Structure formats: C-alpha cells, structure tokens
Amino acid sequence: EEQLVESGGGLVQPGGSLRLSCTASGFNFTYYSMNWVRLAPGKGLEWISYIGANGRISNADSVKGRFTISRDNAKRSLYLQMNSLRGEDTAVYFCTRDQGASQFSQRFYFFDIWGQGTLVTVSS
Amino acid sequence: IQLTQSPSSLSASVGDRVTISCRASQGISGSLAWYQVKPGKAPKLLIYAASTLQIGVPSRFSGSGSETDFTLTISSLQPEDLASYYCQQLNSFPRTFGQGTKVEIK
C-alpha cells in the first residue's frame, strides 16, 4: 500500500524550532516530487512547500526564510525544518505526493497521496 | 493566482444535486484539482485536470470547466459527503487552494 506517515509535531514556544518528518512506503520515493500542506484551526488548506525529484524547491511567501524543505531518498523521507515559529503556524501539517498525468498533450499535476497529518501547536 | 470558491457553505438534503464554484484570478488551462476534507482525516483527491475522476471516487462526483471557471458537482448528495471541499490550482507556484466550501446535510 502506498503510504505517507508524518511525525515530529508537538507544542513549541513562539520563536522556537521544530523538524517534521514524513516517511514514504509502497512506492519509489526517489521518482516523486513532494509537498507540505497545512490546515490551521478554523481556516483552509494552505500549500507551503515543494521539493522536486530533481531537488528544485519552492516555498510560500508565508514561510520563506523560516521553513526549509529537504529530502533523503535513501531513507525515503521528507523533512520540514521550521524556525522562528509563530502562533499563526499552529496547524496540522500534511505531506503529500505530487503526481502528474499527461492528457491532450498537456501535463497536469495533483496531490494523490496524503499523510494523516501531524499537529504543530505554537504557544507559550 | 487566487482562487475564489462559492459558496463558503451550503446545506442540502440527501439526494440533492450540489454544485460548488471555483474561479481563478487568471487562466490556468485545466490545471485544477478538487479535494474532500473531513475532520481528523487526510484530505482526499476527488478530481484532477479539472474533470478527471480519481480512481475509487464515486461517480456522483464530477468536475468541469477550464481557464478561470470551474465547478465541482455532486449529483446526488449522500450522508458521507458531509465535508469541506477545496479547489487547488497547479498551473504555477505557489500552488494555491480556494478558501473551501463546507457542505452540511439538512
């Protein structure tokens, strides 16, 4: 079964740091781009970070300079290093697999596998 | 690219036809996906490429549209469809989501 499992969430004080991990199983992690998405209480889904299979990285403005995405293909793992955490970073963080499909000579992307999420609470 | 979903919430009866709109601030071809989010569960992909049903998703779900105007339709609402629904554009970075539509059962 293709699966993603996040870990590393918890309670952290404002200004603190946390490192999230996501371990993949059931598919060849090396071939896929990956993302982090979060869902804050009472708010909507927010895409925050992408890392391509080739190592290309893109981040949302809300986390630029504070969060760093990385991957270790040998460990089939995705990471999110979160620094300078703020109250508004409180959310459930999901890792997702980035999938692509070709139709009508175009390439379309979507997030087909999601982990169950890990809760990050930023509070004093 | 900003996505505007409407309505933000709706209440419908079992068996009703439900439509959710998603409007993009600029053309995105067909690079749009729809997700279902239930409390405490991982989001679930429903539709990709604007109208392609993900494997295993019930056929009562369908998607349509292109460029700036998209629609998710539930042809016959079921009790298990109680959830929030989000559109997402994947035409360019940042890969923005709409603000979500909460579907309640009357």
Across all residues in chain A, what is the average pLDDT?
Answer: 97
Contact call for residues A50 and A33 (beta carbons, < 8 A): yes
Nearest chain A residue (CA) to B49: A108
Q: Distances in Å between the alpha carbon of A59 and those of A50, A98, B59, B84? A: 6, 15, 35, 25
- Residue B49: pLDDT band (50, 70, 90) is very high
Contacts of A38 in chain B (CB under 8 A): none
Mean pLDDT of B75-98: 97
- By percentage, how much of chain B surpasses pLDDT 90? 100
Contact call for residues A14 and A124 (beta carbons, < 8 A): yes
pLDDT reading at B34 higher than 90: yes
Please report the pLDDT score of residue A62 as a whole number: 97
Assess B46–A contact: CB distance below 8 Å, yes or no: no
B33/chain A closest Cα distance in angstroms:
6
Please report the pLDDT score of residue A103 as a whole number: 85
- By percentage, how much of chain A surpasses pLDDT 70? 100
- Looking at the partner chain, which of B90, B93, B97 has a beta carbon nearest the beta carbon of A46? B97
Max distance between CA atoms of chain B, in angstroms, equals: 38
Residues A38-88 have pLDDT tens digits of 999 999 999 999 999 999 999 999 999 999 999 999 999 999 999 999 999
Please report the pLDDT score of residue A66 as a whole number: 98
Interchain contact, A45 vs B52, CB within 8 Å:
no
- Looking at the partner chain, which of B84, B90, B99 has a beta carbon nearest the beta carbon of A110? B90
Please report the pLDDT score of residue B9 as a whole number: 97
B20/chain A closest Cα distance in angstroms:
16
Assess B85–A contact: CB distance below 8 Å, yes or no: no
Nearest chain A residue (CA) to B8: A44
Distance CA A66, CA A84 (A): 6
